[in-house]
Amino acid sequence: MTMETLRTMAPKEGIQHGSQKFPLECYINEYSEVFPIHYHQHWHDEVELISVEKGPFTVTIHSKQVALDSSCFYLVPSKVVHGLIQGAKSVQRYLVFNPSMLRLSFYDKLLGSILDNLYDTNLNIIPVRNNDTDDYRECKECFDYIFKNYKEKDDSIRLLIKAKLIVILTNLYRQGIFNQVEISSSFEKERTKKLKDLIIWIQDHHSGPLSIEDAAAKMDFSQEYFCRFFKKATGMSFTEYVNDYRLEQASGDIERGEKSISDIAADHGFDNDSYFFRLFKKKYGTTPLKYRKRKS
């Protein structure tokens, strides 16, 4: 399973990571193109642990952009809205899991505290960079083991994977990943909820006309404030975000090859073919027809 599926997911992902019995999945994302790739703002119940193998890489979270480079761990807690910007030729590995699979907190107070942090949507996570310590090296070794064996069905291996995951979280805790806590005001929490609702609205209505005026009114913001807020929260202007989402939806239909390019463009909110072709080539580095042939 590839991280490419993230491009077309709803704000709350509608897929199951792993199984009900073993809710853990691993992904790798590699690109060789010259263009950065944007993954839209989304959220999920699971925790996302990112290992940046090769940068540059940016996480947009809590209306801030966190720039990451090679040899770095970053953790996204459960239910936190976040977006990803993958730099050209960068590589990341993702470990997505439900913390409930590690619930031994009745027996271990520290583990219980660590797992509670994973559900804290107000937590301002700091990156853990390679500092040449035994803790960091052990995290990498455990991460590699999980990536290599996560598809195994043997119960003993799955138990060992859980143990390795606990080691990773404990070592990241010792490295200070949970040290900075940012308590969101009720106003900030309300803005986050409004942003989630707006993203759903954009994705549900992307095939029709979408205006800054309507979006600002939906969030009860002035247009000027809305433009600043949206850019800060997503790393993109409202128009860029809408066009980028439309392009990603259109690219999936182009790959399937069932309709003409013009019809696909119209289906996803583009009423001008030349404008669609120009934006598509800027994003993907090729024309829609060549993209279809390359993917077929």
- pLDDT tens figures, 238-268: 999 999 999 989 998 998 888 999 999 999 9
Supply the DSSP symbol for 108: -
Amino acid at 202: I
Residue 151 and residue 142: Cα distance in Å, rounded? 15
- The mean pLDDT of 51-59, rounded to a whole number, is 90
Residue with more model confidence, 136 or 145: 145
Position 2 confidence tier, pLDDT thresholds 50, 70, 90: very low
Summarised one tens digit per residue, pLDDT across range 182-223 is 545 666 667 777 888 898 899 899 999 999 999 999 888 888
CA angle 83, 284, 258 (to 5 degrees): 100
For residue 196, what pLDDT is reported?
82
Any bridge partners for residue 174, and if so which? none
CA angle 204, 184, 232 (to 5 degrees): 55
Residue 241 and residue 31: Cα distance in Å, rounded? 21
Residue 289 and residue 270: Cα distance in Å, rounded? 17
Task: Tell me the three state secondary structure of residue 82.
Answer: strand
Using alpha carbons, list the distances in angstroms from residue 252 to 21, 127, 164, 255, 266: 31, 33, 37, 5, 14
pLDDT > 50? residue 228: yes
pLDDT > 50? residue 284: yes
Residue 69 and residue 37: Cα distance in Å, rounded? 15
What share of residues in the chain are helix, strand, coil (percent, to 5)? 50, 20, 35
For residue 74, what pLDDT is reported?
93
Token pair in block for residue 152: 């195994």
Instruction: Map out the domains of the chain with their CATH numbers.
Output: 3-174 (2.60.120.280), 186-295 (1.10.10.60)
Residue 129 and residue 166: Cα distance in Å, rounded? 19
CA atoms within 13 A on the CB side of 12: 7
> Is the Cβ–Cβ distance between 98 and 46 less than 8 Å?
yes
Residue 138 and residue 172: Cα distance in Å, rounded? 10
Q: Within 10 A of 206 (CB to CB), how many other CB atoms are there?
A: 18
